[in-house]
Structure 1
Amino acid sequence: MSLGALRPSPLVEQATVRLREQITGGEWAVGTKLPGETALAKSLGVGRSTVREALRALAGAGLVQARQGSGVFVIATKPKEDWSTQLRQAAITDVYEVRMLIEVEAAQLAARRRTDDDIAALHDALARRRDTAHAGNAEFVEADIALHQAVVAAAHNPVLTGLFTEFVPVLQQRLLDLVELLDLRSKNPNDGDEGHAVLVDAVVRSDAEAAGRALRDELERTLALLHSL
Structure 2
Amino acid sequence: MGQKLKSTLLNMVLSLTLVCAITSGLLAATYMFTSGPIAEAEALALKEAVKEVSPAFDNDPIADSFKFQTEDGYELLIYPAQKEGKNIGAAVESSSKNGFSGLIRVIVGFDSEGKILNYSVLQHNETPGLGSKMEEWFRTDKNNQNIIGRSLANGNLNVTKDGGDVDAITASTITSRAFLESINRAYSAYIGIDATTSASEQNGEKGDTNE
Q: TM-score range with shorter-chain normalisation?
A: under 0.3
Question: What's the TM-score, normalizing by structure 2?
Answer: 0.27
Of Structure 1 and Structure 2, which has the larger fraction of its residues in strand?
2
Of Structure 1 and Structure 2, which has the larger fraction of its residues in helix?
1
Greater relative contact order, per chain length (Cα 8 Å cut-off, separation 6+): 1
Question: What's the TM-score, normalizing by structure 1?
Answer: 0.26
